[in-house]
Amino acid sequence: MALIYEELTKELRRCVFDVHNALGTGYDEETYHQGMIIRLEKSGFPLRSKEKCFVEHRSEKVHEFELDLIADDKVIFELKSLQSDFLQPNFVQIISYLKLWQKQLGLLVNFGLPKAKVKRIPFTEKEKKKMENYNYIKAILAPADREHLRNLREAILTVFDMHGLGFGESICQDLILAELRHKEIKYASKTIIPVEYEGRIIRNFEMTLPIVEGRFILGITAQQKQIEFYDIAKIQTYLSALNLQIGLLVNFGKKELQITGVRA
């Protein structure tokens, strides 16, 4: 099976290596960015640089993205100068760009090593599948909790139906909070937890997971294969510290939306 834009990718990779060979290793991203503009224009590629676009939800702008380059109106470049291999946030970033700009291929480029590295990142919208598990919290839900949980679940599924999978964790949280505001569901986006040890308050910790209706801690992850035990344990710690009982963990995962209840 042929790779998408295979011949075009070969030409674009050649431009990357030409820039790196000419400039060498050790400059910042902006230096290589300017070099890529010159090299791509020399090859005659239509080019857009530093283009901005907003993620919107119900006419509210929840986040602004600025990509590095789009070549030939087909391929998004994300340029890095790292003294290491690519990091997970780099993949999350370029997948978010591909989703928002509705492109099928990105090239993640690292100029920071002795040899430039180019990683192909294909993207297609995933089928909207979901998995829900509330078994851990069913027994402790009061009638009022059930109503609040239904409203919260509806908000989460609305965001999923409207935006699908592909955005990173912070964007998914911003989208859900925008939907909560739209539905007039009360939440606190930040909460101070006095951390106590041996009878002493050792730190006032700022928890940035939302608390919905004063009852549910809402954890949000994205682009993970599955819900991780670490994320569950973290919510359990916060529930215990705040004397709450119920949490909800949502993963806008690689292949499906996953929602699970968490109890202290």
Rounded CA-CA distance 113/116 in Å is 6
Using one digit for the tens of pLDDT, what is the confidence trace for 22-39?
Answer: 999 999 999 999 999 999
Contacts of 38 (CB under 8 A, 6+ apart): none
Give the pLDDT confidence of 50-65 residue by residue, as tens digits: 999 999 999 999 999 9
SS3 state at 235:
helix
Q: pTM of the entire structure?
A: 0.91
Range 66-73 average pLDDT: 97
- CA of 175: how far to CAs of 12, 88, 178, 180, in Å? 34, 21, 5, 9
pLDDT tens-digit readout, 206-229 = 999 999 999 999 999 999 999 999
Distance CA 264, CA 245 (A): 5
Q: What is the pLDDT of residue 141?
A: 93
* Per-residue model confidence (pLDDT) at position 3: 85
Q: Torsion angle of alpha carbons 224, 225, 231, 233, nearest 10°?
A: -170
Domains and CATH numbers, the chain: 6-122 (3.90.320.10), 130-263 (no CATH)
Check whether 1 has a pLDDT greater than 80.
no
Query: How far apart, in whole angstroms, are the C-alpha atoms of residue 238 and residue 263?
Result: 11
Calculate what percentage of the chain has a pLDDT beyond 90.
Answer: 98
